[in-house]
Amino acid sequence: MTKTDIQRQLTTVFRDVFDDPRLELNDSTTAQDVENWDSITHVDLIGAVEKSFGIRFTVKDIRGLTNVGDFIRLIASLVK
């Protein structure tokens, strides 16, 4: 999977979880930039990303995320 593929698929997941069809992501997007991205929706997001990509994160992975760029790199390291 290329970075673009991951970003495209991740955007779909974000749009679904945050219920915003116009939401756009870039590497530096953080929780502050997305409406309703709080500790509760973060758990929803993790679950939805795992399901969509067929991967499992570790708690350490999840705690280490600071922005969407991290997210994409993490996914890239886990997908076959």
Which stretches of the chain bind another protein, using CB under 8 A?
A: 16-17, 19, 39-40, 43-44, 46-48, 57-59, 62
Instruction: Annotate 6-32 with DSSP letters as a single string.
Output: HHHHHHHHHHHHTT-TT----TT--GG
- The nearer residue to another protein, 20 or 24, going by C-beta atoms, is 20
Within 8 A by CB and 6+ apart from 40, the residues are: none
- The nearer residue to another protein, 19 or 24, going by C-beta atoms, is 19
Q: How far is the CB of 35 from another protein (least distance, A)?
A: 12
CA dist 70 to 19, 21, 64, Å?
22, 22, 8
- The nearer residue to another protein, 28 or 36, going by C-beta atoms, is 36
Q: How far is the CB of 53 from another protein (least distance, A)?
A: 15
Q: How far is the CB of 80 from another protein (least distance, A)?
A: 21
* Token digits of residue 15: 């749009």
